[in-house]
Amino acid sequence: MKKNNNRRVHSHDVTKAAKEALLRRGVKIEDIAEIVYEMQYPYNDGLTLEHCIKSVERVLLKREVQHAILVGVELDQLAEKKMLSQPLQSIVESDEGLFGVDETIALSSVLTYGSIALTTYGHLDKNKIGIIKKLDTKSGNGVHTFLDDLVASIAACAASRIAHKLRDLEEEGETFKSVPPHELGPEGEMLPVDDEP
Amino acid sequence: MKKNNNRRVHSHDVTKAAKEALLRRGVKIEDIAEIVYEMQYPYNDGLTLEHCIKSVERVLLKREVQHAILVGVELDQLAEKKMLSQPLQSIVESDEGLFGVDETIALSSVLTYGSIALTTYGHLDKNKIGIIKKLDTKSGNGVHTFLDDLVASIAACAASRIAHKLRDLEEEGETFKSVPPHELGPEGEMLPVDDEP
Amino acid sequence: MKKNNNRRVHSHDVTKAAKEALLRRGVKIEDIAEIVYEMQYPYNDGLTLEHCIKSVERVLLKREVQHAILVGVELDQLAEKKMLSQPLQSIVESDEGLFGVDETIALSSVLTYGSIALTTYGHLDKNKIGIIKKLDTKSGNGVHTFLDDLVASIAACAASRIAHKLRDLEEEGETFKSVPPHELGPEGEMLPVDDEP
Amino acid sequence: MKKNNNRRVHSHDVTKAAKEALLRRGVKIEDIAEIVYEMQYPYNDGLTLEHCIKSVERVLLKREVQHAILVGVELDQLAEKKMLSQPLQSIVESDEGLFGVDETIALSSVLTYGSIALTTYGHLDKNKIGIIKKLDTKSGNGVHTFLDDLVASIAACAASRIAHKLRDLEEEGETFKSVPPHELGPEGEMLPVDDEP
């Protein structure tokens, strides 16, 4: 276990930096929410894009997710600027097929949301939809070797939260029609796991 | 993804069954909390056993944890009654060294609490302390091949919650002395991840 | 870490029991190999069903995989015979949507084959094809709550081995046309990881 | 799944670069082997340091391990040169307690060796021994936030291979006394999983 020390970054700064990193790389919260909506609306009566946006916002509050974003975006940017040493530069730049560190980093967040998040992530990784397709390093400009996996991971976590909420609603005989979107968001009853007291 | 159907067990019944299964097999919440306390008190000023009890109670509300308990205890009990088919009966009964399904089932909950939970679990699995030592299939009576790993997993999750809470406290310049134990428990501000809306 | 003792099951008996369990539950090696072929033939020039059969046979030699099969099939069969205690009986019998122990057990083997196996598994879990579709507990007779995930896991592992072999072939400027199928099988140059000396 | 393309790095170059990265950062294969020996000799009659060296050498041939080393060492070095952007620079430089990307990257290799490797890794992460202790960012000079976890991971994988080999030996009624060390190494009967055909 690591010990604590004093050269600390405040968690608000980490949250802010992670959100800015996504935006700087061209990914809006709405883009991720659209993937979530596409995955979940067939199963969830009354689900709206707004619910999905709030769920994504909540996922983005998790430390595990924020750290993954900071590391992944940093490596993508360093690769774009040709600042990684060889052979890592070539591997990241070309999104090498057997390189799995990108999936691994994204996976750590996915695992904190259980088995539904995991299979959803696997599905998204294989069947790239929405912004994930656009980010594919091989089809576009720029290096997004880590970013496409991070986005798939965030979408999978947000989708998993909705699937779990559905279960609770069903037990009460209700649907998403009776759920105000903000309940799924940062201001809702529940904080992200990592920040649980 | 699995579809829903109607032969549903209500989540309250699952919660109740998981708690009863632990008790029936001789594991009290206090027993698990003592392991958590032993692991965490050196790092956490003002931490009490009561905080640890509440943290364990919260972990026990997670669906992922409850399902793992139900399956693991069932297999232990079937093995005790010699009701598993061969060669599984012998493998479980003897807690075979290379059999890893017990660790795997316990691990699924651990992963939902992030990397601190994981390394704590690995540590507990190797250095069995408290009730975990007593449950060791090879040293005592009865079959507890799955139960000892489940207990280590619950303790690791509860310990991880405390480590994360400490981080928040430090940012506020506070310690556990200012945290009423119930804040860490089921009635606290946060619900378990699996049950997040 | 577990200690060894003397009431040991020989690994040959475990191998035999795992293969028989699959057959008894209606899953032939060819059925799994067909899924592998379907997943991999678009990327692999010269790949045949026979290569896939051999790759599946090799995966079935891994202890981690064999143990997962024994436990999963046992639980499916006990559920069919209504021999599990409640509420586990209802949960397994109905393949409850949020029950994740089936995916977890299958996942342990998948993780030993790296990130390609993992995303392939997620894909198969969501887009059930071939025998996996037939096994779906909700659409057919019998309880296959664990078996469908096990089959997806074995197929994902066998597919991952082929993707890794492709990489080696490309470095030599070759294709699967020059690979005799048995090279991918148990009698090939490499033994499964678990059994590595 | 990623597609292949032509800007390829040959696997020999990746192998070479990973070994050089460890040496450049002050970690010799013997250092890692000593940890393995310390962990395994109480259980393995006839085990020598040479067996452990060979096992480490074999683990270092796995692509998953090599990629993890390249990424982790790169991030450590960039942090030393103050070349990461904020707040990642501060987080990595201070080996922040709740930062888990270092454990996550190391973990991906560990998972490919099954549950024994995993619990061994957790143990080593908590009870830093040998070179791992020396590398601890907080106690020494330089940044080794990723490297200490990588070394723990390689040691855990090499130890797991020995535990599995022991099992095979016991079935034959033999010990490590009858095993020439090179059998556990790259030139032995088995190649690393990732490179399996």
CA atoms within 13 A of residue C115's CA, in its CB half-sphere: 29
C87 and chain A in contact, CB less than 8 A? no
pTM of the entire structure?
0.88
| pLDDT exceeds cutoff 50 at B197 | no
Residue B120 structural domain: 14-184
Q: Write out chain A residues lying below 8 Å of C163, CB-based.
A: 97-98
A148 and chain C in contact, CB less than 8 A? no
Please compute the mean of the pLDDT values over residues C60-77 and round it to a whole number: 95
- Alpha helices (H) in chain D, listed in sequence order: 11-24, 29-40, 49-59, 63-80, 88-93, 101-111, 114-126, 131-135, 147-171
In a domain, B197, yes or no: no
The whole-angstrom separation of Cα A168 and Cα A157 is 17
| pLDDT exceeds cutoff 90 at B59 | yes
| pLDDT exceeds cutoff 80 at D179 | yes
At residue D187 the predicted structure's pLDDT band, cuts being 50, 70 and 90, is confident
Of A104, A118, A120, the CB nearest to C115: A104
In a domain, B1, yes or no: no
Give the number of other CB atoms < 10 A from CB of residue C88: 25
The 10s digit of each residue's pLDDT in B77-106 is 999 999 999 999 999 999 887 888 999 999
Nearest-CA distance from B190 to chain C in Å?
20
Residue B130 tokens read as 């408290």
C7 neighbors B94 (Cβ within 8 angstroms): yes
Give the number of other CB atoms < 10 A from CB of residue D124: 28
The whole-angstrom separation of Cα C75 and Cα B78 is 11
In a domain, B82, yes or no: yes
Residue B29 tokens read as 């919440």
Q: Write out chain C residues lying below 8 Å of D190, CB-based.
A: 190-191, 196-197
The whole-angstrom separation of Cα B184 and Cα B189 is 8
Q: Write out chain A residues lying below 8 Å of C127, CB-based.
A: 123, 127
The whole-angstrom separation of Cα C90 and Cα C77 is 13
pLDDT at position B174 is 92
D52 neighbors D162 (Cβ within 8 angstroms): yes
The whole-angstrom separation of Cα D182 and Cα D57 is 10
C108 and chain A in contact, CB less than 8 A? no
**pLDDT > 70: percent of chain B:** 89
H or E element in which residue B88 lies: helix B88-93
Q: Write out chain B residues lying below 8 Å of A63, CB-based.
A: 164
Residue recorded with tokens 């949960």 = C91
| pLDDT exceeds cutoff 60 at B2 | no
Q: Do C74 and B83 touch (CB under 8 A)?
A: no
Q: Do D78 and A75 touch (CB under 8 A)?
A: no
Cα C31 from chain centroid?
11
The whole-angstrom separation of Cα B65 and Cα B30 is 17
A90 and chain C in contact, CB less than 8 A? no
A138 and chain C in contact, CB less than 8 A? no
Q: Write out chain A residues lying below 8 Å of B114, CB-based.
A: 64, 108, 112, 193-194
Please compute the mean of the pLDDT values over residues D15-24 and round it to a whole number: 96
Q: What is the mean pLDDT of chain D?
A: 87
Select from B96, B126, B168 the residue whose CB has the most chain D CBs within 10 Å, as the one to mutate to test that interface. B126
**pLDDT > 90: percent of chain B:** 55
Query: Which range among B186-195, D80-89, D110-119, D128-137 has the greatest average pLDDT?
Result: D80-89
| pLDDT exceeds cutoff 80 at C6 | no
Where is average pLDDT lowest: A34-38, C104-108, D48-52, D140-144?
A: D140-144
Of B1, B43, B197, the CB nearest to A188: B197
Q: Is B142 exposed, middle or buried (0-12, 13-18, 19+ CB in 10 A)?
A: middle
CA atoms within 13 A of residue B56's CA, in its CB half-sphere: 25
Q: Write out chain D residues lying below 8 Å of C173, CB-based.
A: none
Residue B41 tokens read as 């008190």
The 10s digit of each residue's pLDDT in D156-169 is 999 999 988 888 88
Q: Which of residues 156-175 of D touch B (CB under 8 A)?
A: 163-164, 167
In a domain, B3, yes or no: no
The 10s digit of each residue's pLDDT in A92-123 is 999 887 888 999 999 888 888 877 888 899 88
Residue C149 tokens read as 């995930």
pLDDT at position D137 is 64
Q: Which of residues 29-48 of A touch C (CB under 8 A)?
A: none
The 10s digit of each residue's pLDDT in B149-174 is 999 999 999 999 998 888 788 888 99
In a domain, B193, yes or no: no
| pLDDT exceeds cutoff 60 at A86 | yes
Q: Do C122 and A119 touch (CB under 8 A)?
A: yes
State the total domains in chain D.
Answer: 1
Q: What is the mean pLDDT of chain B?
A: 87
Query: What does the DSSP 8-state code read for residue A182?
Result: G
CA atoms within 13 A of residue B147's CA, in its CB half-sphere: 32
C7 and chain D in contact, CB less than 8 A? no
Name all chains with 3 or more CB-CB pairs below 8 Å to chain C.
Answer: A, B, D
Distance from the first to the final alpha carbon of chain B = 19
In a domain, B5, yes or no: no
In a domain, C15, yes or no: no
The more confident residue out of A37 and B163 is: A37
The more confident residue out of B17 and D11 is: B17
Q: Write out chain B residues lying below 8 Å of D120, CB-based.
A: 122, 126
In a domain, A195, yes or no: no
Residue B192 tokens read as 């378990």
DSSP per residue, C64-104: HHHHHHHHHHHHHHHHHTT-SPTTHHHHHHTT-TT--HHHH
Residue A15 tokens read as 């949250």
Q: Identify the CATH number of the domain in which residue D172 sits.
A: 1.10.3760.10
Phi, psi of B81 (to 5 degrees): -85, 5
Question: Burial code of A41-74, b = ≥16 C-beta within 10 A, e = fewer?
Answer: beebeebbeebbbbbbbbbbbbbbbbbbbbbbbb
